[in-house]
Amino acid sequence: MQHEEHPTKPPLSMTEAVIPLASLIVLVALSYYLFGDAGAGGPNQVALMVATMVAAVIGIRHGLTLDEMRDAAVASVGTGLGAIFILLAVGALVGTWAMSGTIAAMVYYGLQLLSPHYFYATALVICGVISFSIGSSWTTVGTIGIGLMGISSNMDMNPAITAGAVISGAYFGDKSSPLSDSANLAAAAAGVDLYKHIRETLLTSMVALAISLLVFLQFGRPGEFDASQKMMLLKNAFNISLLLFLPLASVIVLALCRVPAFTSIFLGALIAAGLAAVVAPERVVAFAQAREGIPRALALLKGMWLALASGYRGSTGVPAVDLLVTRGGMESMMNTIWLIIAALGFGGVVERCGVLERLMAPILAKAKSAGALVAALAAAIFGTAIATADQYMAVMLPGRSFKTAFEQRGLAPVVLSRTIGDVATPTSALIPWNSCGAYMAATLGVATFSYAPFAVFCIASPLLAIVMAYCGIRMPRVPAAGAGASSAG
């Protein structure tokens, strides 16, 4: 049988292991050079597909069949179906929130309460509190993050810095909350009690958050901002009231009740659609452009359905307001879904070919000190996130590979879990083709490469993990494992 021939093939050389990742990086860099931020609309997907073919050639050279690599790619894409459905739900939510006036209400009250002086810092804190409460960066960004981006544009603030502040706050909670699935996974990967892991990871999280707060306070824009005219336009167009916050409140309550992200977000979209039909039926009917003679109830249904599928298109006659609310729909997420599918397919083939294991082996061998070991783990996690385009793979694969090395160095398992949390969770948002980076860019409307330099928390968190390790700060130890314990690990 074909799989029996695999052991007769020579092991993957370092050059062969590097080629697929190097080809991907070169192609994506070329895509960005040629197409700029528009690369996510197709060119980046082509780069990923070509890099997948490069990896497949190497796999064939080492005895793998095309069927085996296809199955690996399909299995990898299967792991991303949850993220894909969440993306569709967020697209639907944005469309109905725009039609109901929820986004307009968030912007209206935000213009009243927030000041350009401390806007970025406030966005960071708001997203941090909500994300810690519900344990989800995706839900935070897909709800309050959208409103903050709308407020930002109406205050003439920098959208890239705003996105960086929103993402920084969102990942503080995702990394540190006991309700976070990534925090639970990091603890499980190292075999550590969840609350012990949370206590340790809060140390780096709070320091990284403090650094982020100081940075975003410096970015605040001096001078006064007169929002009265924009607020009047919004109030006239959408009859603003606190009732319009019902969809936002419903999503947050559902998230606090641990309802899965897709369900809570999509229910929030449906609630907003129903709210639009109640508070602004004429707007919904006008948007539906239903044929003459159709019953009013069906015209309302068509308008709600259309906003879920294709997003809302503003028709207030005021360009600034129409620009704010012309957005959303499941359709708007298709380029991002295409990107995630291509990226996960590449990750599946690369993993099946043994590229990641080959690249990690010399890193592990050269890590002599505790600091070097933590730095090597951080590099392995980031490399895995680049290669597999999946945050969970970046948690599990390096965690499994480095567990024995941490035991042999006498480092407590919580050091492993903390490092995984410090690196895998926040850095996933910095990679354009990673499911997290693609989601953030699609939801906030800012390209990953544009917001990445301002995602201060996502950059500071892994750097703090490495600095702490080299300085010997919070590096608890256990008796070094013997050979028997090592092999058992």
- pLDDT of 303 reads 95
304-343 pLDDT, tens per residue? 999 999 999 988 888 888 888 898 999 999 988 998 899 8
> What are the tens digits of pLDDT across the range 408-438?
889 999 999 999 999 999 999 999 989 899 9
Q: Is the pLDDT of residue 208 over 80?
A: yes
Neighbours of 249 (CB within 10 A): 13
**CB contact at 8 A, 44 and 28:** yes
Q: Which of 441, 330, 437 is nearest to 91 (CA)?
A: 330
125 beta partners: none
Locate the DSSP E strands across 4-141: none
Estimate the share of the chain in helix, then strand, then coil, as percent rounded to the nearest 5: 80, 0, 20
Q: Note the maximum CA span of the chain.
A: 82
* Residue 326: count of CB within 10 angstroms of its CB: 14
pLDDT tens digits for 90-114? 999 999 999 999 999 999 999 888 8
CB-based contact 281:255 (threshold 8 Å): no
CB 168 within 8 A of CB 140: no
Rounded to a whole number of angstroms, the distance between the first and last alpha carbons of the chain is 32
> Residue 418 in contact with residue 401, Cβ under 8 Å?
no
In whole angstroms, give the CA distance from residue 62 to residue 7.
9
**The pair of three-digit structure tokens given for residue 401, joined into one six-digit string:** 């590979």
Give strand pairing partners of 477. 411
Tokens 């469309």 sit on residue: 95
Model-level pTM? 0.83
Do 144 and 188 meet the contact criterion of CB atoms below 8 Å apart?
Answer: no
pLDDT band per the 50, 70, 90 thresholds, residue 39 = low
Q: Which two tokens stand for residue 65?
A: 């069949």
Domain ranges of the chain: 11-63, 82-332
What is the share, in percent, of the chain residues with pLDDT greater than 70?
94
The SS3 assignment for 312 reads strand
Decide if 166 contacts 130 (C-beta within 8 A): no
How do residues 65-90 score in pLDDT, each as one tens digit? 999 999 999 998 988 888 899 889 99
Task: Check residue 225 and give its pLDDT.
Answer: 67
